[in-house]
Structure 1
Amino acid sequence: MIFRQVMHDDLGCASYLVGDERTGRAAVVDPKFEIDEYLQLARYHGLSIEHILETHNHADHVSGHGRLAAATGATIHIHRLASPDYEHEPFDDGFELSLGDVRIRALHTPGHRPEHTAFLLYDVRRSQQPWALLTGDSLFVGDIARPDLAIEKHEGARGIFRSLWRMLELPEHVEIWPGHIGGSLCGGDTVDRKPVSTLGYERLHNEMLAVTDEDEFVDRATRDLPPQPPNFQAIVALNRGPLLIEGVEPRPLTPRQVLLKQHTGALVVDVRTALQFDEAHVPGAVSIPATGAGFGTKLAWIADRDQEIVFVGRDDADGRRAVALAEAVGLRRIAGFLAGGMTSWREERRPVRRIERMSASELRERLATRDALQVLDVRERSEWRRCRIPGSINVPYHELTSVPPGIDLARPIATVCGTGSRAGTAASLLARLGASRVLHVADGGVATWREAGWPVEGEGVTLRA
């Protein structure tokens, strides 16, 4: 068996190439939109990609099944309940695909979505027992999938409970290769960033698998669910609809063209580091760094699908990469990117804006002097309820489309989150709303504050970054 995991690091999405070395036949499971890596792997191993398998209609990223089918002629397979509009071969529970000595068997595991299916992998040259299970969005390393993206959440949780117990009937040695690692919108806070586990290990250490009562499981699985991904229904529609083959062509723009686009309503997104943005940026731009994981997720929260987007990076490579990451979350109204990056803007002596930065300790000092500084905590509401700085106001960063209640734009505002990353995006959004003075708590956040032993309010559970 030839087996390779292919990761979309920004979104935490995993896909798989499965092939038979003897016959040279291969299948790709849950392909991402950028398909070059599958084609390169197939060439390297002497494989022909003949099949594409989808675990379900994805809600957090655009599938590459259309592009891969066009490039290879492969047949697309998905569970009958998915009911897509493209040409495909529907399957039911127990469907088997033979690549030679390598076989793939469908295990219907509804819950995350009604059509959701996991895939058992067999290498019959070695054993008649399954070797691995591609769990898709059902069982993750350390956690389970969320139940609220297709049906009512309690019904979804009951489906996941029953599907998990069906999986647990498999031998303990079976490896678990999930569709997501930590950081994905389809999982919770405790999804591990480790890409693989075993059923035996998860039985012992996955807290949700220790819950044997269905009602208790449903209660825990539906308690404190994070907000639903902002455009998940639109992404599902793209993935169910006619095959999407063509990508967005990145278009370089001059500084003047960027201004014209901005004046006609385009959203300007700066993808450089938060430090670079704070030091100098295009007036009215939003800071969403693409230098770390989660860029596409944040962009999807903030960008309007019907609004054009212009990217500003350090150079053209930054801009082109941002276009690809935007495509992955279904954002296709891309006007272009600033040619030459921020350097070209500065060379033309265009106006820039700046945002003040401060550390958590400096915030503590300012508040200790009873400064009139307003503290806006931009984490999710569940995080704020658990632990917060006394007197802080909470509005998640992705909801800053208008002036938050209780916030005075004429007075200084400090934005704070867990460690500083979301606070930078929030600071840029407040500046766009007309705040006279915004301070980005960039060095540390509520986690630093709590660890230092300074006063906090709330339930006091462990924070996430």
Structure 2
Amino acid sequence: MQVNLPVLAHYSYILVSGKEALIVDPDRDVRFYLDYASRNGLAIKGVYLTHSHADFVAGHLEIAKAAECPIYQSASSGAAYKINPMKEGSSFKIGTALVRVLETPGHTPDGTCGLVFGGEADKAGKVLFTGDTLFVGSVGRPDLLEGRMTAATLASMGFDTWTKKLSKLDDSILVLPAHGAGSLCGANLSDSPKSTIGAERTSNPYFTMKGRSEFIAAVLRDLPEAPQYFKHNAAMNRQGPPLFDWAASLPPEANAEQGLMDTSRFYIVDIRDAPVYAAEHIPASVNIGVRGRFETWVGSMVPWAAQESGRLVLLGGKAELQEALRRLHRIGYAAGVLTLDAWKRSGLPTKKVEFIKPADLYAQMKAGTGPIIVDVRLPNEWMGLRIGDVVNLPLTHLSQLSAKLDPTQPVVAVCNSAYRSSMAIGILEAKGFQKATSLDGGSEAWIGAGLPVYGAEATKAAAVPEPARREIRLADRMSVDELRRTAKDLPGTFELVDIRPAEQFNDYHIPGSRNVDIAEVLNNAAFLAGAGPLILVDRDGSLAMQVAGIISQKTKRTIKALHGGLDAYWKDGGWSETETWKSIPAPMAPARTVPPKAEPPKSPKKKSAGC
């Protein structure tokens, strides 16, 4: 059984043979595995860790304690807890099934795969648990060891792992990886939950490389920036994460005192929605809304030392705080809690920010009285479409890069939907900016108001004082409900293209979509042909509408943009469990519920993962 934890794009497994079970690469919330075994009368006979995970805290110790079972792990893992050490050829039995361990370095030096044999008569093997060694359409990134071993050295090991070991296995063997699309443990992961050795042999782009050097170069290209918490989770997993009480209630509120505003000592994360934060918040608190990709942003933005020393405080309503704490424990973060009411009762200051309306900002820009506009998106997003003469300071580096700006001057932060730009307000406030705000509704609202934009083809030249701006006609919009109905009633009759940067597509995307660069969509005549509609998707619908508008002027083909983009898709809950897309995989949406969802592997439509 494959257990999918979508918020971390993590697959774990329950291998059942007879009345015995093996848990493979479990996440920290172990209740599901224990409850499943109890409901089905299974005895958990072991936990198998394919390697030392970096992107989440594993639940191996908790399962081992609850089930009184051994932990099977590489002898070279450096584990500080008791394990049954595995080497090349080591094996153990679960019921009548035999698990034989293969040493497969590449992602990490201690990487292993578990080849499962159905019984004594099975000579080739049936299933391969590949961990982060081999993904569907990709391989594990080799750059997470930070000086202990070079990325090129590990990538070279990965080349040997495939050419000398995994490629020798039977084509029919089922490949079950530890991650799918949405994971930052590799690049260009497919959203298919399973594959076979034969399929990877022919379709995995990394295995088409002619030699070692070409393979190494390909593996090192296009890797998304790894959140800073990865190295700490890896160390935590090797040491043995402390046991956690998932049934615990909220801790007592932190003392509301002036010292919490000292950003050199404390980090306050306001988990409420952006408009609520803007109306009133603690000065210099950073707004990371719990309804966004909360874990990823906290793990990227909040220094590990802040939570480690008890200096991370979450502010929100009690229900929001309960959810946020549970979700953060999956990446090893702990935090204190505080409500705004308690803060105000102590007579401490709050701050209000007025988001600026698109029309007002545009009027100021035309009059020459506009503020400094900081686009906090990734460079690829900024180059793709922007609202004017703006400076690009990506959010993950804004704290350092803000030194380029004058904190006495007004600053407006911009992103697609105001989620990231709202986060930027607190970061700038912590750096002494007193007049920092956000564009209300982001660039989507700007475009919706009919205001001019720059595209990649109209990048400002330094010698031109006032580049020409042009209006782009908006194409038809398709709602999430309409897309759902079309997928259900007319599967396979439309083309779904995601135009976000590759690193964002890798983070998460709608199943069945493919990632194409904006320039490719605009300039490749192939997109002008086709009998069915072309549906474009981006984060919030803004870029997609503009690109769709341009294309629609060149073709009679039906061109649409998903209204609200991925934001609307996830807010609408994705597709319900009772709905099935023919030939399209199940969604890998960021989950809002605490327990992971178990689902049997489906057989989705094969797509080229690319590199």
Fold match by TM threshold 0.5 = yes
How many residues are treated as equivalent by the alignment? 447
User: Is 1:181 equivalent to 2:180 in the alignment?
Assistant: yes
Shift of residue 404, structure 1, vs aligned partner: 1.7
* Structure 2 counterpart of 1:276: 276
Name 2:476's counterpart in structure 1: none
Tell which deviates more after alignment, 50-59 or 241-250: 241-250
* Residues 385 and 453, structure 2, Cα contact 8 Å, conserved in 1: no
Question: Contact 1:272–1:290 at 8 Å: present in 2 too?
Answer: yes
**In the alignment, what sits opposite 1:337?**
337
Q: Which amino acid aligns with 1:310?
A: V
Contact 2:9–2:179 (Cα < 8 Å) also in 1: yes
Change (3 A) 1:303 1:101: same
Give the secondary-structure state (helix, strand or coil) at the position aligned to 2:154. Answer: helix
Any idea what SS the aligned residue of 1:107 has? Answer: strand
Q: Secondary structure at the match of 1:296?
A: helix
Q: Secondary structure at the match of 1:27?
A: strand
Q: Secondary structure at the match of 2:53?
A: coil
| Alignment-derived partner of residue 142 in structure 2 | 147
Partner of 1:372: 370
Find the counterpart in structure 1 of residue 166 from structure 2: 167
**In the alignment, which residue of structure 2 is the partner of 1:304?**
303
What's the CA shift for 1:71? 1.4
Alignment of 1:28-427 (within 5 A): 28-124=23-119, 129-150=124-145, 151-165=149-163, 166-188=165-187, 190-242=188-240, 244-246=242-244, 251-254=250-253, 257-259=255-257, 262-263=260-261, 265-293=265-293, 295-307=294-306, 308-313=311-316, 315-332=317-334, 334=335, 336-338=336-338, 341-342=339-340, 351-357=349-355, 367=365, 370-380=368-378, 383=380, 387=384, 389=386, 391-402=389-400, 404-417=402-415, 420-427=418-425
Structure 2 CA distance for partners of 1:170 and 1:326, relative to 1, 3 Å: same
Give the structure with higher Rg (CA). Answer: 2
Displacement of 1:91: 0.6
Q: Tell me which amino acid in the other structure corresponds to 1:316.
A: K
Given that 1:175 and 1:196 are in contact with CA atoms closer than 8 Å, whether structure 2 keeps it comes out as yes
Give the distance between the partners of 1:343 and 1:233, measured in 2 at CA. 36
Q: How far apart, CA to CA, are the structure 1 residues paired with 2:139 and 2:414?
A: 29
- What is the identity percentage for the equivalent residue pairs of Structure 1 and Structure 2? 26
**Helix, strand or coil: the match of 1:337?**
strand
Task: Structure 2: state its 5+ residue gaps.
Answer: 461-498, 505-538, 540-611
Measured in 2, the distance between the counterparts of 1:66 and 1:136 equals 18
> Which 10-residue stretch deviates more, 257-266 or 94-103?
257-266
Given that 1:402 and 1:433 are in contact with CA atoms closer than 8 Å, whether structure 2 keeps it comes out as no
Letter in 1 for 2:288: I
SS in 2 for 1:185: coil
Q: Mean alpha-carbon deviation: is it higher for 150-159 or for 130-139?
A: 130-139
CA displacement, residues 198-249 of structure 1 (integer Å, 9 cap, x when unaligned): 4444445433233232211211221343334313333222211255224596
Tell me: CA distance 1:241–1:270, structure 2 relative to 1, closer, same or farther (3 Å).
same
* Aligned-pair CA distance for 1:250: 5.8
Higher relative contact order (CA 8 A, sep 6+): 2
Q: CA deviation at 1:329?
A: 2.2
The two structures, once aligned, show a CA RMSD in angstroms of 3.4
Which AA in structure 2 matches 1:103? Answer: L
SS at match of 1:427: helix
Letter matched to residue 282 of structure 1? I
How far did residue 110 of structure 1 move? Answer: 0.5
Q: What's the CA shift for 1:195?
A: 2.9
CA deviation map 1:67-86 (0-9, x unaligned): 22121111011111112111
- Residue 435 (structure 2) pairs with residue 433 (structure 1): no
- Partner SS, residue 177 of structure 1: strand
Preserved CA contact (<8 Å) 2:99 2:117: yes
In the alignment, what sits opposite 1:11? 8
Displacement after TM superposition at 1:291 (Å): 1.8
Amino acid of the structure 2 residue aligned with 1:145:
G
Contact kept, 8 Å, 1:423 with 1:441, in 2: the verdict is yes
Residues 107 and 119, structure 1, Cα contact 8 Å, conserved in 2: yes
User: Does the 8 Å CA contact 1:42/1:49 hold for their aligned counterparts?
Assistant: yes
Q: Give, in angstroms, the shift of residue 141 of structure 1.
A: 2.9
Cα distance, 1:100–1:361 mapped onto 2, change above 3 Å: farther
SS state at 2:304 partner: coil
Verify the 8 A CA contact 1:142 1:206 in the aligned structure 2.
Answer: yes
Task: Quote the Cα distance in structure 2 between the aligned partners of 1:462 and 1:410.
Answer: 34
Q: Closer, same or farther in 2 for the Cα pair 1:139/1:351, shift >3 Å?
A: same
1:365 and 1:158 mapped to 2: Cα distance? 56
Give yes or no for contact 1:421–1:442 (8 Å, CA) kept in 2. Answer: no
User: TM-score normalised to the size of structure 2?
Assistant: 0.65
Gaps of 5+ in 1: none
CA apart distance, 1:92: 0.9
Residues 167 and 378 (structure 1 numbering): CA distance in 2 closer, same or farther, change over 3 Å? farther
Call closer, same or farther: CA 1:164–1:353 in 2, change over 3 Å.
farther
- Equivalent AA in structure 2 for residue 196 of structure 1: K
TM-aligned CA distance change 1:260 to 1:128, over 3 Å:
farther
Check conservation: 1:423, 1:442, Cα contact below 8 A. no
- Are the aligned partners of 1:393 and 1:406 in contact in 2 as well (CA < 8 Å)? no
Deviations 1:408-442 (A, max 9, x none): 22333232346544333223211332323333346
Structure 2 CA distance, aligned partners of 1:234 and 1:156? 20
Return 80-89 or 344-353, whichever deviates more: 344-353
